[in-house]
Structure 1
Amino acid sequence: MKILVLGSGAGGGFPQWNCNCRLCAGQRQGELSAHARTQSSIAVSADGESWVLLNASPDIGQQIRNHAQLHPRHGLRDTPIKAVVLMDAQIDHVTGLLGMREGPCIDVYATPCVFEDLTTVFPVLSVLEHYCGTHWHMLAVAGTQTSATFTIDGFASLRFTAVAIPGKAPPYSPHRREQTVGDNIALLIEDLDDGRRMFYSPGLAEVGEQELQWMSDADCLLVDGTFWAENEMQHAGLSQKTASDMGHLPQTGNATRIGMVDVMLATAARRKVLIHINNSNPILDEASEQRRVLDGHGIEVAYDGMEITL
């Protein structure tokens, strides 16, 4: 299995276009050892030829141009991107679909909740019907059904399992204040040829027994690295919202819940990688104490262009 990190930043990327915080300003001015990051999305392949997108970032055009693996190869119009799987309906995970409107009909894999949001309150899929069109493949995660295994045409050696996880629906969603099963999913992807597994969850609000079990079954974790601390945005003067308010589990824990670092250390995964890094997170600074902590634990920080082979 081949994994290509197209974008490793949270919403707004890094540096965020309108942010003059210490990290964003330092990166722009070359005073910080930190790489720029586009908004979070990855691509997965069994053979390096055909690819599945996991989320479609608003930066998808730039990301495709930056990665030769996703360039057209055959004929005048072509794409090796064969499908898109959506983890949720967040703006920074779905609006890239609009940037793919010049291509063929898009095979979109999403839960009923996500499909509903994207055809009503934020009708991205409805708009695309006037361009390339979409073909919706339902991921049956809804009601009492908390996981669903599925396959994607052309990827016979990969088996996908969508798993309902704690999180928050987008601010515009009718489910924002009361989570509905299917608003947020993670993916466990298994290579049937060698049994290797990757767990992908760029947004994860809590890790309980069930989530830990799914993560423990993986050889590689690519998980929520949005915030280092619960009150990070408040301390930086950027927002009054906490990590919990925004549906993310920070890397450091507190008296009421475990942090993502400890969660990752409780698994036997060979590769432990944080993705979806917010512009306020000090781990963006490669010389920071926080990065030294991660390095000491063997936890990696995803960057745009990172390639992982399992």
Structure 2
Amino acid sequence: MKVRVLGSGAGGGFPQWNCNCRNCSGLRRGQINARSRTQSSIAVSSDNENWVLFNASPDIRTQLEAFTAAHPKHGIRDSGIKAILLIDSQIDHTTGLLTLRESTRPLEIYCSEMVKQDLSTGFPLFKMLEHYCGVNHHSTPLDGSGFTISGIDDLRFYTHSLKSKAPPYSPHRHDPHAGDNIGVVVEQISSGRKLYYAPGLGEIEPHVLAAMQQADCVLVDGTFWQEDEMSRAGICDKRARDMGHLPQSGSDGMIEVLKNVPKARKILIHINNTNPILDEDSPERKTLTDVGIEVAYDGMEIDL
């Protein structure tokens, strides 16, 4: 199984266009050892030719242009992207669908019923796309049962619900439903190798920990280093968990969780621009390195 990290940043990317925090200003001025990041997305394949795109960020055009395996190869209009699996309906994970409107065939989109509802009402991308390429929606199960995707050989997908809030524009923003956010296990059928992908994790439920412990690689939420990171940066008073993200530090943070996942390769993705781990010379980054946790970057390739 091949995994390509198309984008590794949180919403807004890094540096964020209007942010003057230590990280963003430091990167622009060359004062910290860091690299820029687009908004989070990955692609997965078993044959390096036919790919499933996970989320469609606003940066999708730049990401796909930098990814030669997805370039058109057959005919005047073509792409290596055969299907799209949406983790949630957040703006930073779905707006790129508008860029993909130039497809010559309907987009094959796999997502939960709640995500479909959001993208048909509060943020009606599906309805908008009806005037362009159209959408073939495939509902993802929430009970962990497996399914395959047409045109994608040797991979099976398992999805389960995560505790999270729907986006601010959602009709049920303050009434959480199963399927607002999902985690995904991707299994290569021939080898049994597994990837667990969950860029938004606010709570480690038993089925989440079980999926992580059975995986060969976990690619999970690395948004914030600490619970009050946004207020420390002088940006807002929202706390990490209030925004649906488990911080890395603390007695019950992601670092401690990943200590219970000994066999897997552990990689953080969806890194917010305020997170000190973006500075590769920071003590926080060293803390991760010392316990064997990696930080995803745009263009990173993972072979399982």
Q: Is 1:77 the counterpart of 2:77 in the alignment?
A: yes
Tell me the percent identity.
55
Q: Is 1:260 the counterpart of 2:248 in the alignment?
A: no
Partner of residue 133, structure 1: 134
Partner of residue 97, structure 2: 97
Give the match's secondary structure for 2:160: strand
C-alpha distance in structure 1 between counterparts of 2:265 and 2:194, whole Å: 11
Between stretches 261-270 and 284-293, larger displacement belongs to 261-270
Question: Closer, same or farther in 2 for the Cα pair 1:170/1:148, shift >3 Å?
Answer: farther
Between stretches 236-245 and 195-204, larger displacement belongs to 236-245
Any gaps of 5 or more consecutive residues in structure 1? none
- Residue 240 (structure 2) aligned to one of 243, 250, 275: 243
Output the TM-score relative to the length of structure 2.
0.98
Shift of 1:150: 1.2
Partner of residue 290, structure 1: 284
Partner of residue 120, structure 2: 119
Residues 226 and 247, structure 2, Cα contact 8 Å, conserved in 1: yes
Write the deviation string for residues 2-32 of structure 1: whole angstroms up to 9, x where unpaired. 0000000000000000001110000011111
Matches within 5 A, 1:137-176: 137-141=138-142, 146-176=143-173
C-alpha distance in structure 2 between counterparts of 1:55 and 1:269, whole Å: 27
Give the match's secondary structure for 2:285: helix
C-alpha distance in structure 1 between counterparts of 2:299 and 2:197, whole Å: 17
C-alpha distance in structure 2 between counterparts of 1:109 and 1:201, whole Å: 15
Shift of 1:189: 0.6
Query: Structure 1 segments of 4 or more deviating over 2 A?
Result: none
Q: Is 1:207 the counterpart of 2:204 in the alignment?
A: yes
C-alpha distance in structure 1 between counterparts of 2:67 and 2:154, whole Å: 23
Residues 221 and 269, structure 1, Cα contact 8 Å, conserved in 2: no
Shift of 1:125: 0.8
Shift of 1:176: 2.0
C-alpha distance in structure 2 between counterparts of 1:253 and 1:180, whole Å: 28
Any gaps of 5 or more consecutive residues in structure 2? none
Partner of residue 42, structure 1: 42
Which residue identity is paired with 1:228? W
C-alpha distance in structure 2 between counterparts of 1:76 and 1:199, whole Å: 35
Which residue identity is paired with 2:90? Q
Q: Is 1:192 the counterpart of 2:189 in the alignment?
A: yes
Output the TM-score relative to the length of structure 1.
0.96
Write the deviation string for residues 62-116 of structure 1: whole angstroms up to 9, x where unpaired. 0011111111111111101000000000000011111101113100001110000
Between stretches 174-183 and 189-198, larger displacement belongs to 174-183
C-alpha distance in structure 2 between counterparts of 1:193 and 1:117, whole Å: 36
Residues 10 and 40, structure 2, Cα contact 8 Å, conserved in 1: yes
Shift of 1:269: 3.5
Q: How many residues align?
A: 303
Give the match's secondary structure for 1:101: helix
